[in-house]
Structure 1
């Protein structure tokens, strides 16, 4: 799940760094601190919390790289399950400045009709500006829309919904997932890698399956999740290069951080899920590797791979959290 970042990541980072030119670092850090504290709840009834360009620039520079890497990791797993499929069109619901559109363009080459829907006009305007640096997104359509029960979506190949469900009421979450299921051939939903985020993903997963979708990733099955609610949760990790703004806001010195996320990717067309999925960081011990797996029968298991397994042992030592198993 932590493959080297594609060129799109570098292009995005460069574009985001340019946004902060002329914005004092202290002001940017203060804006991000405020937005992190306040950016929650249902779609606002008056003005979005992202009020102006300065707000959006600071928040985009802070959050877009992490959202991009998390969504790209989910899409990468989906693409492995459906290697012969490429989306011919894409709608990003609640996409803000469009991190998921960058992730889609990094996963599947070429241009396609892209629509980004969001309530915050400043975010859409900035997303359009950033997208001008990405040839695959230069013709993308940025449209203001209230994300909730009244939302309708045009037919499309792919719908992405990333870090959006946590901002909606329960009825609006249901309506959004149902609208995506009705419109798309494939749906990818990403949420924070917390117990609550996982619970929202499972709720969406259940609705997609009920609508006729099959899970392509991360689960190796479309049966009920074997994790007991309240006892544990399924999530993964994507490595993100830290900008100077990240270090200012979080007070960290490392050049990277790990973005924890939960996701589901489901499709109406045939896909081949992973044989099993590594759902915890592998434990490497002397002469053995312990792998915690979600199995195709819909159960969790732990496998011990030792040197006696030869090449499989070497593969296990290189296997990461979130990878398919066997590789």
Structure 2
């Protein structure tokens, strides 16, 4: 019997046909412009994705990275809310639908799904890519202006990924408030930059003020213990590169690491981790250094040595973004 195809593999397969007909030069030019928008600081009131060439370049270059970042955030949320499964999902500013694929990867099964975006070419391609996915082919792809005039129907889960950086401060605040009023759970993902973290932190504050409980990545719902301007909270997801991705970026590696910041919150009880690894662990001879955000709230560097036995083995296997201690150690 053949093993079931994962959502990540299904997404790569759906993108493969798209890449076959994409002229490399046109794709490279479109990707360069999209990178400038992605990294830029100037909000725009016009769609970033203008036509099919732009959308195809975006799907090839950004969709796998967005998928992996959102899936990582959703997995952390799911661990804090075991047994909870969203009955419906609205993806705001979802473009070609990477977050909808990530939601299905986290909670398989069919559910009402609506993707909202102001770029019709992105919605059209997203619909095309999802047509072959049993859990997504019935999704609604709806054009909407993302901003203060946006209204949302009640739903279980709202995702907002890589959208806040495209909005004015007033539109960002309005979007977070609208999501909070409509959903039982909200997950927001932004680029893992100081500015991206600042936008996530502002959204986190609004969600807490609206009565939401923080599920991840924070072990607490209190103020972030990072002193403003000294550092920023972000994480990393491993992304497999497509051939176009490697060609455009001039790289030879088959993967790259996507840096992202996020917050996941819910109106229902959640169980955040006791602590989370917030930097890549440093493995040295006979010891592992772990930078932790803890429940207090506080930031602390923990040193785990061989004399800690099984905990030392767990520390050597720990990764950036993991809960600490591991679940099996928490049960002991």
Query: Normalised by the shorter chain, which TM-score bucket?
Result: over 0.9
Paired position in structure 1 for 2:53: 54
Paired position in structure 2 for 1:20: 19
1:43–1:147: 8 Å Cα contact kept in structure 2?
A: no
| 1:35 and 2:41 correspond | no
| 1:189 and 2:185 correspond | no
1:239–1:257: 8 Å Cα contact kept in structure 2?
A: yes
For residues 74-125 of structure 1, give each alpha carbon's deviation from its aligned partner in whole angstroms, at most 9, with x where no partner exists. 0000000001100000000000000000000000011000000000000000
Q: How does 1:1-327 map to 2 (within 5 A)?
A: 7-38=6-37, 41-45=42-46, 48-327=47-326
For residues 289-314 of structure 1, give each alpha carbon's deviation from its aligned partner in whole angstroms, at most 9, with x where no partner exists. 11100001110001111111100100
Q: 2:303 and 2:197 mapped to 1: Cα distance?
A: 27
Q: 1:141 and 1:203 mapped to 2: Cα distance?
A: 30
Which deviates further from its counterpart, 96-105 or 36-45? 36-45
Which deviates further from its counterpart, 14-23 or 122-131? 14-23
Which deviates further from its counterpart, 218-227 or 34-43? 34-43
Q: 2:175 and 2:272 mapped to 1: Cα distance?
A: 25
* Aligned-pair CA distance for 1:43: 4.9
Q: 2:253 and 2:203 mapped to 1: Cα distance?
A: 35
TM-score calculated relative to the size of structure 2: 0.94
Q: 1:139 and 1:61 mapped to 2: Cα distance?
A: 23
Q: 1:38 and 1:109 mapped to 2: Cα distance?
A: 33
Q: 2:32 and 2:312 mapped to 1: Cα distance?
A: 45
1:43–1:148: 8 Å Cα contact kept in structure 2?
A: no
1:90–1:112: 8 Å Cα contact kept in structure 2?
A: yes
1:43–1:119: 8 Å Cα contact kept in structure 2?
A: no
Q: CA RMSD in A?
A: 1.1
1:278–1:291: 8 Å Cα contact kept in structure 2?
A: yes
Q: 1:74 and 1:132 mapped to 2: Cα distance?
A: 25
Unaligned stretches of 5+ residues in structure 2: 327-332
For residues 8-42 of structure 1, give each alpha carbon's deviation from its aligned partner in whole angstroms, at most 9, with x where no partner exists. 10110111121122222222112211222246644
Q: In 2 relative to 1, CA 89–30 (structure 1 residues): closer, same or farther, beyond 3 Å?
A: same
State the secondary structure of the residue aligned to 2:260.
strand
Q: 1:37 and 1:315 mapped to 2: Cα distance?
A: 40
Q: 1:209 and 1:283 mapped to 2: Cα distance?
A: 33
* Aligned-pair CA distance for 1:62: 0.7
* Aligned-pair CA distance for 1:176: 0.1
2:188–2:263: 8 Å Cα contact kept in structure 1?
A: yes
Q: 1:212 and 1:23 mapped to 2: Cα distance?
A: 47
